[in-house]
Amino acid sequence: MEYQLITEQHVLNDFVEAIGNSEVLAIDTEFMRRRTLYPEIALLQVFDGRHLALIDPLCELDFAPLWELLKNPNILKVLHSPSEDIEVFQNFAGFVPSPLFDTQFALQLLGSGNCVGFAAMVKDILDIEIDKSESRTNWLQRPLRESQLEYASADVAHLLPCFEKIVAQINERQWFDIVIAESQLIAQKRAFQTPDELLYRDIKGAWQLGGRDLAVLKELSIWRREKAQRKNLALNFVVKETNMVEIAKRRPSSLNSMRNIPGVDAMEVNRSGKEMLACIERGKAVSDEQLPQKVLRLMDYRGYKQAAKDIKHKIAAESKETGIPADVFASKKQINQLISWSWKHDETERAMLFAPDILQPWRAQYLTGALKDWLPEPK
């Protein structure tokens, strides 16, 4: 497949004009995520079936004309397993292309199982072996090698013919809207940020802590995310979760005592020790009446196992009725998500949180009757 590497504005403008009347575009991104909180885009691939471009975002380019095209509701954008690509677009372009068709989810919907990789899809549908030797290459290096460019172009060149075969089966079952809705859900979840006051509950090991310790963990959690966002550092490169729990539990009063906590990295203390001590002091200052309630694990709730079993049974029955695989309706994680949302949070907190996947539009449409005791009352 022939491709063009775009590094100049006039070439990008010509390409956008050439694909302007397309009904479907295959899209992929190459990015790096080493120590950063946000992915660093390194290449953008677009293919309309005739014109294939590898667009270099490290060059000084005005992407506005291309963004208008990717926002066009009349052009379907096809990606494979787009969760991280969605995050790339949210951070680099400030929006997510839509409508978006995820071929990996579509295959799951058709019964091919969870997380079918791109190479496996291409082999199964097109009987073509994909060379994955460049999958872990440094995409930010310049100039890009020819082998890298060939690899990147193959991702979208093979994606489009795979999509054409997949979408025919999806349309036959009248599930096209489900695929589009699932991609919208992924984008919404990627954009959502847990409120500061509830962030500590997502920390592994929080269930081990008492109220005063949780007050400290709450302060540490808010501070860590704010610093990660400000410095564009992966959360664990600010401070590891396990160390946050230990620091909250022991509440050291000096840098030396913090360094003596087993597992705590000296570099973490050198970089952020004073800030963490300030978090500890704020947690200590919380009045007894305002201390967080103990965080319970689902297994600590009476009736959890039976509730999960009942939900799974009802979903299995709906799966048999509709032909939609049960694991597409809800994985074990998504079932636990629903139970946690219902049992661990009051009405005020639920209004602040992103509703569980099972309560989102297309699933709720099918499951409202089966799970009426778990679904909110219609407005």
Output phi, psi for 56, to 5 deg.
-90, 105
Tell me which residues are annotated as active site: 28, 30, 85, 151, 155
Q: What is the CA radius of gyration of the chain?
A: 24
Helix axes 241-250, 266-285, angle to 10 degrees: 50
Could you tell me if 24 and 49 are in contact, meaning their C-beta atoms sit under 8 angstroms apart? Answer: yes
> What are the strands of the beta sheet with 4-6, ordered from one edge?
4-6, 52-55, 40-47, 24-32, 76-79, 100-102
Q: Phi then psi for 64, rounded to 5 degrees?
A: -55, -45
Give the DSSP letter of residue 97.
-
The answer to whether 43 touches 57, Cβ cutoff 8 Å, is yes
Q: Which DSSP symbol is given to 374?
A: T
Beta strands (DSSP E) in the chain are 4-6, 24-32, 40-47, 52-55, 76-79, 100-102
Determine the distance from the C-alpha atom of residue 321 to the mean position of all C-alpha atoms in its chain, rounded to a whole number. Answer: 30
How far apart CA 220 and CA 252 sit, in angstroms, is 13
Dihedral angle, C-alpha 203, 205, 206, 209, nearest 10 °: -160
